[in-house]
Amino acid sequence: MSKLRLLGAALLAALMALPGTATATAQTATVPGHVEITPSGEQEMRDFWSRYSVPPATQEALIKRLEAGDRIDSTRTDRDPVATENIDTAGLRRTVERFRDGSVSVTSISRPTSAGTIGPSTVNNCRSSESGTGYVNWYDCHASSQNGVVTFGFYISYTITPRYDQIIEVGSPYRHCSVGTCDTPKLAIRKKTETSTGSAWANITAIHTNINGSGSTKYEMRALVGDNRASTRWETP
């Protein structure tokens, strides 16, 4: 766990400097029903939306809804995506979900570009090492989720085997909210070893509270290991 704890310390130091975390000064509503979004929080959301090709006019509409104290579709557990895309690239596996109002949510997990010997240059990067015939250990792979308002994630190490895959450990949970506040995330391995009935899995949960007190939402992201692969997904109640 030492490498994971080092990752967690670095992430915590970086997040302490960001607005919108539970330890940062919260934005305050200037008038009843209105949410004052900080310039940095707005920029974070626009950068995320632009990365996933959300048009500027749609971004403006989403910002206005958030300022009015409303919740956009990607932050609601009672809204289903209208389109889902799985994207595999070198070093990253992503699931992109698009909603009717134009908002987006993304879950992802990093992966090594190739198996090989672990060395100092690979610290803090997802990497793999052969562990025997048909066995491969994957270390410190970054699992994350974003929906434009909430970002959280953790690191996971696991073993791919010819029979049943297994989670070795998880660590370094983090969270960040561009609007409102997030409580301290909870991270746990819920099923350590894959079985004939399903994948091994771990989850991170966090509660986001709207800054004007209009409500809170519990978010859960799962990392699943099974069928010789790892994947991530939002989990809704």
pLDDT digits (tens, 9 = 90+) for 148-191: 999 999 999 999 999 999 999 999 999 999 998 899 999 999 99
Q: Residue for token digits 């809204």?
A: 79
What's the pLDDT score for residue 33?
62
Domain ranges of the chain: 2-235
Q: What is the DSSP string of 17-58?
A: TSTTSTTSPPP--SSTT-----HHHHHHHHHHHHHTT--HHH
What's the pLDDT score for residue 118?
41
Bridge-partner residues for 136, per DSSP? 130, 160
What's the pLDDT score for residue 5?
45
Q: How far apart are CA 233 and CA 213, in angstroms?
A: 28
Question: Quick one: tokens of 38?
Answer: 């900080």
What's the pLDDT score for residue 26?
33
- For the entire predicted model, the pTM comes to 0.78
What's the pLDDT score for residue 196?
96
Which segments in the chain show pLDDT lower than 70? 1-33, 113-124, 211-214, 236-237
